[in-house]
Amino acid sequence: MPRFSEYTLNNWRMPPSNSEEIKLANSQRLVKDAIDSDSQLNKFTIEIFGQGSYANDTNVRLDSDVDINVRLADTIFIELPDGKKQEEFGYSDSNYTFSEYKNSIYNALVKKFGQPDVVRNDKCITVKGNAYRVITDVVPTFKLIRHDENGVKHLGSKFISDSGIAITNYSLQHIENGKLKNAATQKRFKRLTRIYRRVRYKMAEEEYCENKNITSFLLECLVFNVPNKIFNNYDTWLERVKQSIVNLFNQTKEDEKCKDWGEVSELLYLFRGARKWTIKDVNEYLIKMWNYFEF
């Protein structure tokens, strides 16, 4: 007999409230107001959009932070195929550094919300929550233009953490691909992702399994790589969870089977490069998840 009933999983598939979109919109508006009222920043072209669990509609916690990408379009990062130079594509260097941009965003937020409510972190700037707003993580980024070998151009975001680490993401493509996967699976992709995330939190709370390498973002990407037939061919959430774990476990037993898996954006590999997690981490976690469910 499984640990959790179909009734429980049916509840876990839903977002924690009906106000997720409102919270996201409010955070975007507050950040936009701070930038629009700043004389140094309002002359630039800055795109402000949500990313993370709120924007992807996979949030499962009432107290989750809202992530807002504040992407400068006037100064860009370039990624070119090996052997190519940016001059060949008509690009030139800019004197405006990313550090200067992040400093300007921080100062604008302090002017808007006050010094006590704004915290500069390694990767983002946090605006503390209060009775009128949720905690908002503001991520200053430069627009990234990536040229592939085949001539295809991709637009993303890139930033340099205060500790000097360069981080790239394609959050808008992530959002779009998530919607497409959701449509192809009768809205079950995001619902199954929420179940996986809630189970992760419960396992950690009960000290059953707390692998810090297994992140909510990773779980969403793993569920994205589950074949659509597993979402569509089973009638219960218990069976969808069971069959998805079986599929993911079998595919992560050998590196060759999953080394080409991508993030939801399908523009970055899930298991290549410097990653917090490994394929072995994932496979071991799936065993623990299976045992936790008592299948």
**91-149 pLDDT, tens per residue?**
777 889 999 999 999 999 999 999 999 999 999 999 999 888 899 999 999 999 999 98
In the chain, the percentage of residues whose pLDDT exceeds 70 is 100
- The three-state secondary structure class of 48 is strand
Q: How high is the pLDDT of residue 210?
A: 72
Average pLDDT of the segment spanning 259-272? 97
**Is the distance from CB of 42 to CB of 111 less than 8 angstroms?**
no
| C-beta of residue 146 within 8 angstroms of C-beta of residue 154 | yes
Q: Is the pLDDT of residue 62 over 80?
A: yes
- Taking every pair of C-alpha atoms in the chain, what is the biggest distance, in angstroms? 64
pLDDT of residue 93: 76
152's CB contacts (< 8 A; 6+ apart) are: none
Cβ within 8 Å of residue 202, ≥6 positions away: 208
Separation of alpha carbons 220 and 224, rounded Å: 6
pLDDT of residue 191: 98
Quick: pLDDT tens for 197-253. Answer: 999 999 999 988 777 899 999 999 999 999 999 999 999 999 999 999 999 999 999
- For 249-275, what is the mean pLDDT? 96
pLDDT at residue 88 above 80? no
Nearest to 137 by CA among 215, 283, 24, 33: 24
Q: What's the DSSP call for residue 226?
A: S
Task: Convert the pLDDT of each residue in 161-171 to its tens digit.
Answer: 999 999 999 99
Check whether 29 has a pLDDT greater than 80: yes
Q: Which residue has the higher pLDDT, 92 or 268?
A: 268
Angle between the 237-251 and 279-293 helix axes, to the nearest 10 degrees?
Answer: 150
- Rounded to 10°, the helix 216-224/171-184 angle is 50
Q: What is the DSSP letter of 291?
A: H
Backbone angles phi, psi at 164, to 5 degrees: 95, 10
pLDDT at residue 41 greater than cutoff 80: yes
How far, CA to CA in Å, does 247 sit from each of 40, 103, 221, 285? Answer: 52, 46, 14, 14
